[in-house]
Amino acid sequence: MATRALPTTMKAVLYRGPGDLRVETVPVPTVGAGEVLVEVAVCGVSPVDVKRVQMGLKPFGRVLGHEIAGTIVATGDEVDGWKPGERVVVRSTRGEPGEEPRGGGFAQYVKVGADFVDDLVEVPRGFSFEEAIFLEPVNTCLRGIRLLDLDEDDVVLVAGVGSVGLILQQLAIREGAIVVAADPIPGRLKIAEELGAERVVDPREEDMHEACRELTDGRGADAAIVAAVGAGPVRDAIRATRARAKILLFGQVAKGEETAVDIGDVCLDEKHLIGSHSWSEEEADEADEVVFRREIELAKLITHRFSLDETAEAFKRAGARKDDVGKVIVVP
């Protein structure tokens, strides 16, 4: 096994219960014949993980973090095509419906199992680790955009423009769509406008349905993306869209979430509710191009950086609905 001198223990952040993230000392993973060990350079704080910790969703005792980029430091004897020193993005899901990412990124080192070694993605020379961690979220967002099957000049409502909503917005614009961005946080609306939204709406002050009607000769948005939590944005998106519109639900990431909607509106106007959440093999190559060719703005989305020891604070900041909070990352 090719390797450099490695410590026997490392710091890792264990998810112990609701709101309980603890920095602990654990063994550095041992690498088997077909496995790879990566020293973590950056791990993004995913909205999915934030919600998991806030809601206290089981299982406990795990190391979370699935937006991982770093450097290979050890490879097993049977590993072909990868060697220590190479910079990579680690994938931690097969993309099956309802599948939980393997995680492991909130630690100094993460082991890549034999089944996932072929799915490592090389980070191009000169490309930052911080931008590279967006590969997984861009992939999942791109899959959702593909399910909407947008036409050029479609008017798309994006309800919720946190970091994920802003990725979805930019991908919709990349398809030629015209975006109406809605969010109750003024700072987010400012960034949405800077990143190409035709119209921004604070739903506390303005009816997003009327804003969409203004851009569509009264018919309503051609499609909607719900990248916000709560029942209100789902109802608003259904109401703001035209007949036979597609509504992508992207922010509902825990089983048991319920909302009351106007089923008559959905049925009589033949609207389509689409759920999308997972990584997709079919979009992998295109996601690579979007990220590594910088076809959309990603670095600008990062607003806060924390050390591994500050991971609990990183989660609190990521879950705070404040003007200055975009993408939060942890740098071990």
pLDDT tens track for 139-169: 999 999 999 999 999 999 999 999 999 999 9
Element (H, E) at 235: helix 231-239
Supply angle C-alpha 196, 197, 198, rounded to 5: 110
Dist CA 280 CA 93 (whole Å): 9
| Contact between residue 40 and residue 108 where contact means Cβ atoms under 8 Å apart | yes
Please tell me the predicted confidence (pLDDT) of residue 69. Answer: 98
Domain 2-134+298-331 in CATH: superfamily? Medium-chain alcohol dehydrogenases, catalytic domain (3.90.180.10)
Q: What does 19-71 look like in DSSP terms, one character per residue? A: TEEEEEEEEPPP--TT-EEEEEEEEE--HHHHHHHHHTPSPPSEE---EEEEE
pTM above 0.85, yes or no: yes
Is residue 199 helix, strand or coil? Answer: strand
Nearest-angstrom CA–CA distance, 305 and 164: 17
Of 147, 143, 138, which is closest to residue 166 (Cα–Cα)? 138
Q: Each residue of 149-172: b (16+ CB within 10 Å) or e?
A: ebeeebbbbbbbbbbbbbbbbbbb
Q: Are 58 and 255 in contact (CB under 8 A)?
A: no
Sign of CA dihedral 100, 102, 104, 105: negative
Q: Residues 241-299: pLDDT tens digits?
A: 999 999 999 977 667 777 778 888 899 999 999 999 888 999 999 999 999 999 999 99
8-37 core/surface letters (b: 16 or more CB in 10 A; e: else)? eebbbbbbeeeeebebeeeebbebeebbbb
Under a CB-based contact definition with an 8 Å cutoff, are residues 174 and 295 in contact? yes
User: Is pLDDT of 320 > 80?
Assistant: yes
- Which residues contact residue 332 at a Cβ distance below 8 angstroms, ignoring those fewer than 6 apart? 11, 40, 41, 43, 106, 107, 108, 307, 308
Cα–Cα distance, 288 to 161 (Å, whole number): 22
Answer yes or no: is pLDDT of 222 > 50. yes
User: What is the side-by-side order of every strand in the sheet holding 9-17?
Assistant: 20-27, 9-17, 62-63
Helix (H) / strand (E) containing 142: helix 135-148
Fold of the CATH domain 141-275: Rossmann fold (3.40.50)
Q: Domain residue spans in the chain? A: 2-134+298-331, 141-275
pLDDT band at 5 (very low <50, low <70, confident <90, very high): confident
Amino acid identity, position 298: L
The predicted pLDDT at position 4 comes to 62
Q: Residue 144's Cα: distance from chain center in Å?
A: 12
Largest CA-CA distance found in the chain, in angstroms, rounded? 66
* SS3 state of residue 223: strand
- For the stretch 103-150, pLDDT in tens is 999 999 999 999 999 999 999 999 999 999 999 999 999 999 999 999
Angle, alpha carbons 11-14-18 (nearest 5°): 150
The yes-or-no verdict on residue 2 having pLDDT over 50 is: no
Asked if 288 contacts 121 with a C-beta cutoff of 8 angstroms, the reply is yes
Residues 6+ apart with CB under 8 A from 260: 231, 235
Cα separations (Å) of 165 from 57, 133, 264, 304? 23, 16, 28, 17
